[in-house]
């Protein structure tokens, strides 16, 4: 059983049977590895950086103050209305104050400021692509952490007093397989959550529909290729290790089958001067 030959024949069969899927996987891997986004001129980048810095400096105290001002202005406007929602000059002035208070609240909201900065550069820029990458690796970490927590709970249940007694090797093998299952489910769920975040990023960057759809499909292709490659490498490693252990077990079984008592056997190889047989060094078959 040649493990390398099995791998080569399996890969060749997959490429021949699914050329389109393999091509998309290769493109996705290249996008995930080398796609950086379009460059942005210095002026736009400086404006983007300054706007983000301003958004970080917006404090919750300023937002609370703006919301309180808006509440007072809306109360005055409601009291200034006449019968059947008629509005005189005093009412119009109160209405204008409500509009100004709403504008102050909008300026105090960090997300609105960030969205304005994002629309200046676009989702295809280096800024947008880098933010998508950050979201992907954040979701990736969440999926792996989820798998680790579930595996820890599975290990605790396996070690309960009422659980079935088994060898240490069997326990660790079951725990490894359970971790692989949990990791698969964790990364898949994290990937769907990542796609949900990408959709909201595209909307916040103000990308047109066709352009945003193209970007979403490319990101989905790159993410699927990355997750699939990682899980495929894990499955391949576990399967290769299992085949190697089976191969070693078969060799040991063959040795024990040829020499069941485990005793050395004398093999004559020539006649001695005294007419007897000289023997080789004792060896096992």
- The beta strands (E) that lie in 107-200 are given as none
Report the C-alpha gap between 142 and 144 in whole angstroms: 6
CA distance 143 to 195: 14
Contact 175, 154 (CB under 8 A): yes
Which pLDDT does position 82 carry in this prediction?
65
pLDDT for res 22: 80
Contact 77, 98 (CB under 8 A): yes
Q: d(Cα 176, Cα 206) in Å, to the nearest integer? A: 45
Return the pLDDT at 68: 81
Contact 173, 167 (CB under 8 A): no
Could you state, in chain order, the average pLDDT of each consecutive group of 10 residues for the chain (285 residues)?
64 75 84 85 82 68 75 78 68 80 72 76 89 92 90 81 64 84 92 93 89 93 91 83 71 68 51 46 44
| Nearest residue to 118 via CA among 209, 215, 207, 213 | 207
Q: What is the pLDDT of residue 220?
A: 93
Residue 3 is predicted with a pLDDT of 57
pLDDT at 275 (0 to 100): 46
The pLDDT assigned to 218 comes to 93
């Amino acid at each position: 059983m040649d493990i390398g030959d099995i791998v080569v024949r399996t890969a060749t069969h997959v490429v021949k049977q699914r050329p389109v899927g393999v091509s998309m996987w290769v493109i996705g891997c290249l996008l995930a590895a080398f796609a950086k986004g379009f460059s942005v001129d210095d002026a736009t980048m400086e404006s983007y950086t300054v706007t983000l810095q301003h958004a970080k400096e917006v404090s919750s105290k300023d937002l609370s103050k703006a919301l309180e001002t808006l509440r007072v202005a809306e109360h005055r406007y409601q009291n200034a209305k006449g019968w059947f929602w008629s509005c005189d000059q005093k009412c119009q002035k109160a209405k204008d104050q409500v509009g100004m208070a709403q504008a102050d609240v909008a300026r105090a909201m960090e997300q609105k400021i960030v969205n304005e900065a994002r629309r200046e550069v676009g989702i295809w820029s280096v800024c947008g692509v880098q933010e998508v990458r950050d979201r992907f690796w954040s979701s990736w970490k969440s999926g792996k952490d989820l798998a680790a927590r579930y595996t820890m709970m599975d290990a605790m249940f396996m070690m309960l007093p009422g659980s079935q007694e088994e060898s240490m090797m069997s326990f660790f093998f079951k725990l490894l397989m359970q971790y692989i299952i949990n990791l698969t489910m964790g990364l898949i769920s994290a990937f769907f959550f990542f796609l949900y975040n990408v959709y909201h990023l595209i909307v916040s960057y103000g990308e047109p529909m066709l352009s945003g759809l193209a970007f979403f499909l490319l990101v989905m292709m790159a993410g699927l290729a990355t997750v699939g490659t990682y899980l495929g490498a894990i499955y391949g490693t576990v399967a290769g290790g299992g085949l190697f252990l089976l191969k070693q077990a078969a060799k040991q079984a063959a040795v024990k089958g040829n020499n069941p008592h485990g005793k050395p056997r004398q093999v004559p190889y020539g006649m001695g001067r005294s007419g007897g047989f000289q023997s080789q060094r004792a060896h096992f078959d």
